[in-house]
Structures are given as structure tokens and as C-alpha cells.
Amino acid sequence: MIEVTLKDGSKKSYQSGTNVYDIAKDISQGLARAAVAAEINGKVTDLNTSLYEDCTLNLLTFDSEEGKATYWHTASHIMAQAVKRLFPNVKLAIGPSIENGFYYDFDSEKSFTPDDLTKIEAEMKKIIKEDLPIERFTLPRDEALKLMENEPYKIELINELPVDAEISFYKQGEFTDLCSGPHLPSTGKVKAFKLIQQAGAYWRGDEKNKMLQRIYGIAFPKASQLEEYLKMLEEAEKRDHRKLGKELELFSFDEEVGPGLVLWHPKGARVRMRIEDFWRQEHIKNGYDIVYTPHIGRGKLWETSGHLGFYKEGMYSAMDVDGQDFYAKPMNCPFHIAIYKSRLYSYRDLPLRWAELGTVYRYEKSGTLHGLLRVRGFTQDDAHLFCAPEQMPDEIRRVLRFCLYMLDAFGFDKYKIYLSTKPKEKYVGDDQMWADATKALKEAVIAEGLECDIDEGGGAFYGPKIDIKIKDALNREWQCSTIQFDFNEPERFDMTYVAPDGTRKRPYMIHRALLGSIERFFGVLTEHYAGAFPVWLAPVQVKILPILESHHEYANKIAEKLQQLDVYAEVDLRNEKIGYKIREARLEKIPYMLIIGDKEVENQSVSVRSRKDGDLGAMNVDAFISKLMEEIRTRAN
């Protein structure tokens, strides 16, 4: 007999060799129906797994992240099987689950069309109806290579596995795939699915490799869940910042300038300027000093920082300056450290809080670029804190409060917080430093009345961190804010301060970003508001619409008055009907329209239309301005 400890701490005894699915049925028939995978001693595996020794067991449903991954991974195999049935000459690459669904990459001489996707979906339904058992097996390397001899991408993957690696496969009907799993027990467990789109993808994300065809899909246990997701996708498409960026003339990209390099148009630049102005004002209020640093640095700087050793592939190529290598900066931290090193600091000077909207350049592969969310040149909302160890807990709490305040100011009041702890293998700094830093991070979260998910061992080699993921209007999570300890750079750059006893001590260094990068945050903000920015951020806050040419002079006077108050106001002087002008202003998502006719000129008033509240009727000009300025002052959303 073996003893199985369940998630709730209860223990059950079973015959050695009992599989997980039978244990699930013993606990509850409903749980057995809902279970999609199992976690045995912390490792996710199939429900078909047999148990031969005492263990901890957690049965996973679709509601868990691991359950979704298992469900979607199985759906990707069903799709690949359907493709191979319809197009036998297609070669298989990889087919993982991803954050929302799954994909599979295929090497096919034929380009898949929308009609092909419909045929693939129909074949997938047949495979699901067949309810084929999904079976795992392993093979020695020579037999594995023989089995996959007609699949060159699988051969490449097998040859790269360590000599002692277990080579596992999953079989369903006539279809077998190289895979580490886990998977559902049978194809019939997948209920509702949809193939979303087809795109090109380089093998292994490297543009030097062959372009493959990638098909994306999604699957759920219930049709209602699929329907809800497809509605969300439809809404997300309307909110796509790339689409809105073009329609609202906010930003663009140009191949001659270079992929991943953003061109900010006047309207987009206005929104960005409002964000940056607010950012600077709030940092100064919160005890930060603003610094500015160069866009390039000597190669020796990046050697000392470790970037050339660990991050060179993500950096732009060196440029020769007077016979020496200089690099466009991928990060700002070495420059802030250089400022610190320009003089000797005492414990009395600490903490130091230095912030910069520093533009950095990173070589992202072309296949990963995505609008403003993944670019090659971006401005980090960056700051570095240098403090004595005893100051660190208070500084962390201060940063966290500041971070949540800033996010809330932009309309993000839903978050999920993740705390990543010391990795199990390579890391720098002593254990006590890691323990103190992790404790400070966790206590800061608790002190603010918040909860966090712990990512055991998920910290970077140079320190633990907090990541804050904001939720937008569609409840999608976006990674923006980070509070990251660094025990590495102070050591590499030999940073010190004079302690109270006159000795030299190493300061603690904290990297932090509140918004992430201005570009990414702007993209998230655009999608959150569907381009209808709150009045304090809107690229055009007021549009003045005179009905006739005789009303132009009065309209221009109002615009000048608003502009003097730092309000972005435009006058539509086109010889168009007022209904057309109103429709155009609505499409531009402008918060307020002021309609000017004979009555308004005579009464020195305006007829106000609000994007949010509709027709507000006639209003005294000063009364409207007072209302507008109060909304801007309070950053009303």
C-alpha cells in the first residue's frame, strides 16, 4: 500500500500501481470528470500516471494555470493530427500551449487559407468524436530517431537533448508526436474549440531559419466559455492599439526608419507628454531626483556591468568611436551607478532615489515585435534606489505605495502581485541578504493590505523581485511594474558608502519601474480606454464646432482662452454640415464638443456635448471651463 497526501492535507491509502484517474474517481465522480491533469510531488503529469510510492497529489482542473496548459496542449496535438490527415506531406515543428490557447508550427509548401482552417476544424471535430486514448511512451535515442525519420524538425530537437534525457512521445490513433506532456486522457475530453488565425513564424524565432506557418487556436470545456472568449477577442480587436494608433493619428512605424522604432505623431506626443509631466511631478513630490544619462556607452562599461557577457545578443552591434567600441544602451542602471561613483557617500546621504525617463535600445528579433508592446527603442520609466540595509524595508514599502498610486491615477485599480524568490541554483549575494530582501518585499505587500502569489525560485540570479500585473477593462493582465533587488551590480562596480563606524559598506540597490516603459504603457492605456482617453490625457480635449463662417471669430476666441490654460482645443473651420462635424469628432473620441451658433454668440455661451454624458445643453463659457479644469485637476476617468 502507498499513502497519498491530498491538497487539503488529508491522507488516503491505495494499492501500489493505482493510477491518478482512479484516485480522482474514488474521491468524487464530479472531480474525476473535471480533472485534466495532476500535480505529483510538485510535478505536473497525466491523469493516467500510476503511483508506486508515497506522494503528495493535487488534482488539477481547467480553472488552474497548469490545467489550462494541459488542455490547450492536447488541443494543439489534435490540430496537428487533423493537419496531417488532410495534408500528409506537411512537416511538424512545435505545438505548445501559450498564455491564451495554443498554436502549432507547420512546414508546408501550401499556404493555409481560411477555407483550410475550416477543413482543419471539421477534421478536429471528427478526432474528438473518435475519443482516441492518448498514451505516453518512451524510446531509446536510436529508436526515437527512427520513429521520427520523416520529421526533420523533430530529429533536430531529439539530437539536441542531453545524452541521458528521457525521450518521450504521445500517441493518439495514428498520430504520434515527440512531447514531454502532460496531456488529457483522450481526445474526447476537448469540448469547444476554435482556430483563431494563421500567421508566419520563423523556426525557433530566428529570421535566419525557414519561415513556417503557425495556426493559433483556443479551447474550453464549455461552449459558453468559448462564446464569451470570442466576444472578448472581438472587443479586443476593436481596442487594438495598433489599429487605434493609426485611426487616431497617435503613432506609426516606418520600414525606412527601422522596425520596432516608434514615430510619435503630434497627437500621440501630447498624450505622452501629459504622462511624462505627471510622472516627473509625482517623483519630485515623492523625494526623487531626476537624472539624465547618455544614449551610448563605452564597451568597458558594459563589460563591468556584465551585459556584454550575459546580454550581448539583445544589444545593438558596437560602433567604432576613435578605435573603441561603444554600444547603444540597453539599460540605464550602469549610468546611474557611474553618477553614484563620482563621489563618496556617507550613510547620512542615504537613501538616494534617482529617476530617469531613459531611452534604451534592445535588439528584439523581428518576429517578436508587436506594435508598442514590443519595440527596439523605448523609454524606461526607470529609477534606482541606493540605501543602507536597515533602510531597505521602509524604502520597499514606500516604492510599493507610490507604484499603486501611479497606476490608480491612470485608471488601473485591479492588480495581481507576484513575488519571485531566490533561485535554487546560481545566484549572487549571501543567503541573509536574500532572506532580508524577500522578507521586506513580502511585508510591504502585506502592509498595504494586498496579497501576492509566491514564485518559489523564480527570482533573477541577482535578486528577488515583485512584479505587478494590472488588469484592463477586458480583465486582461499586463506586466508593467517591477521592484527588483540587485546584489550583483554593487559588487561588480565596487559601490560603497561610509558607515557610522567609519568602515566602507556595500549599499543595497533597488531597480524599479512603475509604468514599465512609456511605449508599452501607452499601448496598454490605449487598449484599456479603447482610445477614449480621460479628459486629462486626451490628445484633443475640446473640439469647437462653429455652424457658420460668421461664428468662426467667437470660436477662435474660446480656443485661445482654453489654450492659455494648457488645454488642447481645436476649431473645426471646415465648410461642412454641423451633423457631419459632430460625427467626425465622435470618431476622434474627443471628450467635449462645443457647438457655436447665433444663439451662443449672442449669449456668449456654448452648447456642450460630452462624449460620456451626451448633450449637456447651453452653458456659460466660464462655467464650462471651470467644470473642465476640475476634471483635469482630479484626473477624472
Residue 164 pLDDT grade (very low, low, confident, very high; cuts 50, 70, 90): confident
Are 493 and 592 part of one and the same domain? no
Residue 437 exposed, middle or buried by CB count within 10 Å (0-12, 13-18, 19+): buried
Which pLDDT score is estimated for 310?
81
- pLDDT at residue 425 greater than cutoff 80: no
Q: Which of 105, 177, 381, 382 is flagged as catalytic?
A: 382
Q: Which of 362, 520, 528, 551 is flagged as catalytic?
A: 362
Looking at residues 468-476, what average pLDDT do you find? 87
Query: Is there a domain that residue 534 lies in?
Result: no
Which pLDDT score is estimated for 519?
96
Tell me how far CA of residue 437 lies from CA of 348, 410, 460, 468, in angstroms: 21, 29, 13, 17
> In sequence order, what are the residues at sequence separation of 6 or more whose Cβ sits closer than 8 angstroms to the Cβ of residue 123?
82, 85, 86
Domain assignment of residue 323, given as a range? 296-328
Beta-sheet pairing, 377-387 with 452-455? unpaired
- For residue 610, the domain's CATH number is 3.40.50.800
Q: Which of 77, 239, 384, 551 is flagged as catalytic?
A: 384
Asked if residues 275 and 533 have their Cβ atoms less than 8 Å apart, the reply is no
Work out the angle between the directed axes of helices 552-564 and 621-633 (0-180°, nearest 10).
30
Which pLDDT score is estimated for 450?
84
Query: Is there a domain that residue 252 lies in?
Result: no
Number of independent structural domains in the chain: 5
Position 471: which residue type? Answer: K
Looking at residues 424-428, what average pLDDT do you find? 76
* Domain C-terminal end among 37, 61, 85: 61
Are 49 and 89 part of one and the same domain? no
Looking at residues 575-603, what average pLDDT do you find? 96
Give just the sign of the alpha carbon dihedral 122, 128, 133, 135. positive
Percent of the chain with pLDDT over 90: 80
Query: Is there a domain that residue 536 lies in?
Result: no
Residue 317 pLDDT grade (very low, low, confident, very high; cuts 50, 70, 90): very high
Are 518 and 584 part of one and the same domain? no
Q: Kindly state the helix (H) or strand (E) to which residue 456 belongs, with its residue range.
A: none
Which pLDDT score is estimated for 323?
92
CA-wise closest residue to 90 among 42, 135, 30, 153 = 153
- pLDDT at residue 454 greater than cutoff 90: no
Looking at residues 36-55, what average pLDDT do you find? 93
Asked if residues 14 and 39 have their Cβ atoms less than 8 Å apart, the reply is no
Rounded to whole angstroms, the maximal C-alpha distance in the chain is 95
In the block, residue with C-alpha cell 505545438: 95
Helical H segments across 103-256, by residue range:
114-130, 141-147, 152-160, 223-239, 241-247
Determine phi and psi for 423, rounding to 5 degrees: -65, 155
Which pLDDT score is estimated for 556?
97
Per DSSP, what are the bridge partners of residue 217?
A: 102, 195
| Window from 229-243, 296-310, 423-437, 480-494 with minimum mean pLDDT | 423-437
Residue 62 pLDDT grade (very low, low, confident, very high; cuts 50, 70, 90): very high
Rounded to whole angstroms, how far apart are CA atoms 228 and 474?
11
**Mean confidence (pLDDT) of the chain:** 93
Residue 444 pLDDT grade (very low, low, confident, very high; cuts 50, 70, 90): confident
Are 171 and 53 part of one and the same domain? no
Query: Is there a domain that residue 84 lies in?
Result: yes
362 is a catalytic site residue: yes
Which pLDDT score is estimated for 529?
96
Query: Is there a domain that residue 254 lies in?
Result: no
* Domain C-terminal end among 11, 39, 61: 61
Which pLDDT score is estimated for 311?
84
Looking at residues 15-43, what average pLDDT do you find? 92
Residue 637 pLDDT grade (very low, low, confident, very high; cuts 50, 70, 90): confident
Asked if residues 483 and 396 have their Cβ atoms less than 8 Å apart, the reply is yes
Tell me how far CA of residue 625 lies from CA of 556, 566, 605, 615, 621, in angstroms: 15, 12, 11, 16, 6
Which pLDDT score is estimated for 488?
86
What is the SS3 assignment for 15? coil
Query: Is there a domain that residue 243 lies in?
Result: no
What is the SS3 assignment for 408? helix
298 is a catalytic site residue: no
Percent of the chain with pLDDT over 70: 100
- For residue 23, the domain's CATH number is 3.10.20.30
**pTM of the model as a whole:** 0.84
- For residue 359, the domain's CATH number is 3.30.930.10
Peptide bond into 351 cis (omega under 30): yes
Are 368 and 324 part of one and the same domain? no
- pLDDT at residue 367 greater than cutoff 90: no
Q: Which of 84, 241, 307, 511 is flagged as catalytic?
A: 511
Angle (CA) 274-277-280 rounded to 5° is 150
* Domain C-terminal end among 502, 527, 552: 527
What is the SS3 assignment for 81? helix
Which pLDDT score is estimated for 564?
96
Question: Starting from the edge strand earliest in sequence, which strands make up the sheet with 377-387, in order?
Answer: 289-290, 352-361, 377-387, 508-517, 477-486, 465-471, 415-420, 452-455
List the grid coordinates of 633: 485637476
Asked if residues 90 and 112 have their Cβ atoms less than 8 Å apart, the reply is no
| Window from 118-132, 200-214, 381-395 with minimum mean pLDDT | 200-214
Q: Kindly state the helix (H) or strand (E) to which residue 552 belongs, with its residue range.
A: helix 552-564
Q: Which of 172, 380, 484, 541 is flagged as catalytic?
A: 380
Residue 379 pLDDT grade (very low, low, confident, very high; cuts 50, 70, 90): very high
289 is a catalytic site residue: no
- For residue 231, the domain's CATH number is 3.30.980.10
- pLDDT at residue 271 greater than cutoff 90: yes
Query: Is there a domain that residue 257 lies in?
Result: no
Rounded to whole angstroms, how far apart are CA atoms 537 and 534?
6
Rounded to whole angstroms, how far apart are CA atoms 188 and 167?
26
Q: Which of 465, 512, 528, 589 is flagged as catalytic?
A: 465
Residue 423 pLDDT grade (very low, low, confident, very high; cuts 50, 70, 90): confident
Asked if residues 81 and 127 have their Cβ atoms less than 8 Å apart, the reply is yes
- pLDDT at residue 447 greater than cutoff 90: no
Are 441 and 555 part of one and the same domain? no
Count of H helices and E strands in the chain?
20, 34
Residue 340 pLDDT grade (very low, low, confident, very high; cuts 50, 70, 90): very high
382 is a catalytic site residue: yes
Query: Is there a domain that residue 265 lies in?
Result: no
Rounded to whole angstroms, how far apart are CA atoms 570 and 544?
6
Are 217 and 119 part of one and the same domain? yes
Determine phi and psi for 163, rounding to 5 degrees: -55, -40
Q: Which of 116, 172, 241, 333 is flagged as catalytic?
A: 333
Are 278 and 136 part of one and the same domain? no
Are 513 and 380 part of one and the same domain? yes
| Window from 122-131, 339-348, 391-400 with minimum mean pLDDT | 391-400
Which pLDDT score is estimated for 426?
76
Determine phi and psi for 296, rounding to 5 degrees: -130, 160
Are 504 and 357 part of one and the same domain? yes
Are 120 and 47 part of one and the same domain? no
Looking at residues 134-146, what average pLDDT do you find? 95
Are 287 and 302 part of one and the same domain? no
CA-wise closest residue to 520 among 282, 274, 241 = 241
